[in-house]
Amino acid sequence: METSLEINKTGVGGMTQPTSLESRIEVLEARLNELEQQLPEDRITLVVFSGDLDRVLAAFIIATGALAMGEKVSMFFTFWGLNALRKQRILDGKNLPEKMMSMMTPANTGQMGVSKMNFLGMGAKMLRLMMKEKNVETFEGLIELAEGLGATLYSCAMSREVMGISPAELREGTEEAGVAGMLADALRSKSTFFI
């Protein structure tokens, strides 16, 4: 003999709620499923705006730490941060302002300066020397480690266009994304960092 427990309940605004226990459970399960879909994933998003060696080092240290903990990592490089992805300088096909911008920015990661006490590049050389003496992974090694652990590196399409950086100037494996792609990742992430 099957019986159904009936519950007479009037909800907010006088709307009738489901009356049987079974239908109320179904409604609650549906709401729970909706909430579970909104929970963040095991994901970290980093927006890298700075092109300073010390700041970009921090971004990759955070990224590799998160990857080692099993998190997915997406890194979006925009404006000056694009210099962290540069492997070469190409002037062919650029207009005068793009050529000037290219000449004023680092041609590759080895030319990136530090945010404080750079002293015409001496600060960056000292930082790299001290890292080597302390057996700390090089910046270039950290990029390879992050990629090897599964980080996705995105160049901002709009910033790349504005700064006149061609895709051929960026390291292999770099994907392109716009602000919508970055926001889609950030909305699914537990944490988002802006560096």
> Is 185 contained in some domain?
yes
d(CA 90, CA 20): 71
Range of the domain at 130: 43-194
Helix (H, G, I), strand (E, B) or coil at 31: helix
> Is 26 contained in some domain?
no
> Is 31 contained in some domain?
no
> Is 19 contained in some domain?
no
Question: Model confidence over 7-30: pLDDT tens digits?
Answer: 455 555 555 666 688 888 888 898
What is the domain count for the chain?
Answer: 1
Q: What CATH number does the domain containing 124 carry?
A: 3.40.1260.10
Q: Tell me what pLDDT residue 11 has.
A: 54
Note the pTM of the prediction, 2 decimals. Answer: 0.81
Q: Tell me what pLDDT residue 10 has.
A: 54
> Is 137 contained in some domain?
yes
> Is 36 contained in some domain?
no
Q: Tell me what pLDDT residue 60 has.
A: 98
d(CA 110, CA 17): 66
DSSP 144-182: HHHHHTT-EEEEEHHHHHHHT--GGGBPTT-EEE-HHHH
> Is 29 contained in some domain?
no
> Is 70 contained in some domain?
yes
Are 53 and 124 a contacting pair, CB within 8 Å?
A: yes
Q: Tell me what pLDDT residue 9 has.
A: 56
| Rounded average pLDDT over 140-161 | 97
